[in-house]
Amino acid sequence: MVTNILVTNGASHIFMSKYNKLSKDDAAVLLVDHQAGLLSLVRDFTPDEFKNNVLALADLAKFFNLPTILTTSFEQGPNGPLVPELKAMFPDAPYIARPGQINAWDNADFVAAVKKTGRKQLIIAGVVTDVCVAFPALSALEEGFEVFVVTDASGTFNTTVRDAAWSRMTQNGAQLMNWFSVACELHRDWRNDIEGLGALLSNHLPAYSNLMQSYSQK
């Protein structure tokens, strides 16, 4: 059990939350608004770093065979199209091009696609963190889903905006993770597939390839 303290109107409230591990049998991945135009707004990561993180999350979704849903907002406007790498990686995934709804959860097709997976753990990442991630995350929490926000595959204008969004989501029950911790929690045990996970990590964390090279030389 983890003890959390929430302060409201000067009063402290202590509540307990259970450590529910991510499960590859109960998790789905939601990639929200990773669009060419919106990516230009991301300033809390460098462009190369951010793209690597997003593709790492996508790779682990495929590695663990997680249901994955892609969605975009107002593609014909300044937000632009989905980044092509994601569309190529998930050619058969549900692809919800929202005509205008800012909150993906306001789109009936998106919500239907999420519920059709039958999964109760939602791994969410998107652009921008304070809107495209926070709004559906809060909406999903309200409907009883467990929400895991992938912080380094989500981006926004600056760290002040990002931190406020993180605070808002965690106060409502979302859990913050990075793509590396998501991969490790899903994998559970190195003996499940040493080379497979090692290759995934090495592809996105160059320094990790040193560990795998050392291991392979034994």
d(C-alpha 34, C-alpha 75), whole Å:
11
d(C-alpha 139, C-alpha 46), whole Å:
29
Cα pseudo-dihedral 58, 89, 73, 114, rounded to 10: -70
Which amino acid is residue 57, in one-letter code? L
Catalytic-labelled residue, pool 28, 82, 122, 132: 132
d(C-alpha 140, C-alpha 105), whole Å:
8
Instruction: Tell me the sheet residues that pair with 5.
Output: 14
37: exposed, middle or buried (Cβ count in 10 Å: 0-12, 13-18, 19+): middle
Distances (CA, A) of 8 to 5, 16, 46, 172: 10, 17, 36, 13
Structure token pair of residue 164? 């406020």
Annotated catalytic residue 132? yes
Q: Tell me how far the alpha carbon of residue 128 is from its chain's centroid.
A: 12
DSSP 191: G
The secondary structure element, H or E, covering residue 114 is helix 108-116
Active-site residues, by number, are 132
